[in-house]
Amino acid sequence: MTEPGSNEASLGSPMWDYIIIGAGSAGSVLAGRLSAKATSKVLLIEAGPDFPPGSEPEEILDLYPYRASFNSGYQWQGLKAYIQPLSHNYPDRPPLKPYGQARIVGGGSSINGELANRGTPDDYNEWEQLGAIGWGWDAVLPYFRMLENDLDYVGPLHGNDGPISISRVPTDVWPGFTRAAADAFSAAGYRNIEDQNGQFEDGWFPVALSADRKQRRSAAMGYLDEASRGGGYLCIRPNVHVERIIFEGRRAVGVEAAGEITLGRHIVLAAGALQSPAFLLRAGIGPASHLKSLGVPVLADRPGVGANLQEHPSIAMSAWIKPHARMGESPRRHVLLALRYTSGCQGSVPADMYTVVVAKSAWHPIGRRIGTLFSWINKPYSTGRVSLRSPDPKDHPEIAFELLSDPRDMARMKESFVKMWAFFSAQHMKAASSDPFAAIHGAMAALVGQINAKNWMMTLGPALLMDGPPALRRFVVGRLLTSVADLNSVIHDDESLERIVRDFTIGGWHASGTCRMGAPDDPRAVVSPDTGQVYGVDGLFVVDASIMPTVPRANTNIPTIMIAEKMADQMLSVAR
């Protein structure tokens, strides 16, 4: 049995200072920062594979992310969720749908769309108002700056020496479809605000990317580099599934995996907004009534565990791109432009909506001919829940997002669908595309599996037919890509519009909020904003997107890295 800090250590090693469960964006940051303290020995456990520096597969490095995003080997298998509102009448429940969650060192940052979005100052000021003291905008900004190396902007709002490169693709190399969308946004009255992470009003902008212009820059690449791995204080154990947290009384003292128990002074859950609450529930920390119904002894009655599940409800509209407006081989990126705007719906707040422009919907010939507007509710109000199906750690939890259950969300999603139709109907976009249709975002990227010559040829025939007469194109679209090709009647009929919105709304891989931080006297709060310690027990912490009081107006990867940076700093301050 080897000493802590050796990368050959087994799960039966002696006492660790920190055992981190989950090597996603948060876990990678925590492991890198905590192990940099010369006296802290850190064990990082990940259920998926690890690719040390220099061994990352090409699809992970690629600026075009879909090859990694839809690789099933990098995701939890069999994970499904209820997307639509959940009826109490079991036979009337909506169908379970697959929900993507990363299972790889680096987590979502290793396979996501690389969008590097902070959100707005209002998001973090709201966190503080909800009881997360010390998490207002002025308090989190230094950690956003700490994590980033912005290659385009300097000044008090940006960092330039952090581990995560942030860049944007210049407008002069954008393909015609993307430029046409920018022109349509401008014609609708939105201006180019240029820097989405420094200018927080409505407008369009080149999207910020977690990339160095040449390749992805994941949390694993930024925080688990050769120096971190070779320092003797960090051990990374990939392909290991932690089954349970070990307690002595009310103190967490270790973990069990593959029949072995490993002891640690601090047990940190960084397994994400779906798995972290499941760990707590199986340990007896959560709503007492739910735990008792499953025969789980109650260790701490915390009603907030698994509650407050949030996600960005998202919907897509696609169209055939005319040959002159299609992407070439450069730039490699396909999402270059986004629009942030205020809906104006009753009860809405500023910047509550977001639309990205997708200039190539997949790698194959069909995808190269399809452009997409992909919109989501940036500030949702619907919430769901994560609960247990059984105490067995091999069983995935029950996930019910309840998207669009709040009437404000349904109203705004319908409005966004009509708005995308109006953009496609605008002069500039009509010159670059035609025949818009309702689509499931990502479906074309997953239309065929492995990227190879056979699959390319299989999609070439239908793609060439799409370039033929309009009637033939609509036939191919209707047979292969959508069940609703004619949107004109839908747009003008509210009942049809609501049905389409319900059928085509999906999530955005932005699950959050299920172990939210808050005040100790708040029964719905789960963890302390000071260190992420779980209320009601000792030695157990949660640091990941689950502790967000509300989902920010942003893709959640960069905010999650910020959370881990700040929590690592606070943990080390307490330890000193």
- Tell me the pLDDT tens digit for each residue of 173-225: 999 999 999 999 999 999 999 999 999 999 999 999 999 999 999 999 999 99
Distance (Å, rounded) from C-alpha 314 to C-alpha 322? Answer: 25
Residue 353 DSSP SS3: strand
Q: Is 6 exposed, middle or buried (0-12, 13-18, 19+ CB in 10 A)?
A: middle
Distance CA 566, CA 153 (A): 22
* Widest CA span in the chain: 73
pLDDT of residue 6: 40
Instruction: Report the alpha-carbon distance of residue 45 to residue 27 in Å, rounded.
Output: 9
Predicted confidence at residue 335, as pLDDT, reads 96
Residue 404: per-residue pLDDT:
96
Q: What is the pLDDT of residue 91?
A: 57
Give backbone dihedrals phi and psi of 568, rounded to 5 degrees, phi first: -60, -45
Measured distance CA(16)–CA(43) in Å, rounded = 7
pLDDT of 5: 41
Q: What distance, in Å, lies between the first and last C-alpha atoms of the chain?
A: 29
pLDDT of res. 228: 92
CB 21 within 8 A of CB 268: yes
Residue 213 backbone dihedrals phi, psi, to 5 degrees: 80, -20
- Which residue is listed with tokens 């029950």? 398
Q: 301 exposed, middle or buried (CB, 10 Å; 0-12, 13-18, 19+)?
A: middle
296-330 pLDDT per residue, tens: 999 999 999 999 999 999 999 999 999 999 999 88
Q: Which residues are catalytic?
A: 510
Give dist(CA 513, CA 268) in Å, integer. 17
Mean pLDDT of 283-301: 98
Tell me the average pLDDT across 97-115. 96
Instruction: Please state the rounded mean pLDDT for residues 126-151.
Output: 98
CB atoms within 10 A of CB 564: 32
Which DSSP symbol is given to 160? B
Here the tokens at position 396 are 């995935």
Tell me phi and psi for residue 531, to 5 degrees: -135, 0
Other C-beta atoms lying within 10 Å of the C-beta of residue 259? 8
pLDDT of 9 above 50: no
Other C-beta atoms within 10 Å of 460: how many?
13
Name the percent of the chain lying above pLDDT 90: 81
- Spatial distance between the Cα atoms of 520 and 197, rounded to a whole number of angstroms: 32
DSSP 249-312: TTEEEEEEETTEEEEEEEEEE-SHHHHHHHHHHHTTEE-HHHHHHTTPPPSEE-TTTT-SBB--
Q: What is residue 88's predicted lDDT score, i.e. its pLDDT?
A: 56
Range in 123-127, 405-409, 444-448, 474-478 the model is least confident about: 444-448
Question: DSSP label at 246?
Answer: E
Tens digits of residue pLDDT in 505-546: 999 999 999 999 999 999 999 999 999 999 999 999 999 999
d(CA 277, CA 283): 10
User: How high is the pLDDT of residue 286?
Assistant: 98
For residue 26, the one-letter residue type is A
Distance CA 564, CA 567 (A): 5
- The pLDDT-based confidence of 2 (bands split at 50, 70, 90) is very low
Q: pLDDT (tens digit, 9 = 90+) per residue, 434-487?
A: 999 998 765 655 555 567 788 888 889 988 999 999 999 888 888 888 777 678
- pLDDT score recorded for residue 390: 96
* CA dist., res. 53 & res. 223, Å (int): 11
Share of the chain above pLDDT 70, in %: 94
> Which CA distances in Å does 495 have to 94, 380, 490, 492?
19, 22, 8, 9
Cα distance between residue 444 and residue 41, in whole Å: 45
User: What is the residue-averaged pLDDT of the chain?
Assistant: 92
DSSP string, 433-498: EEEEEEE-TTTTTTSS-S-SHHHHHHHHHHHHHHTS-HHHHHHHHHHHT-S----HHHHT-HHHHH
Q: pLDDT, tens digit, for every residue of 153-162?
A: 999 999 999 9
Q: Average pLDDT of 246-263?
A: 95
Check residue 489 and give its pLDDT.
83
Half-sphere exposure of 334 (CA within 13 A, CB side): 23
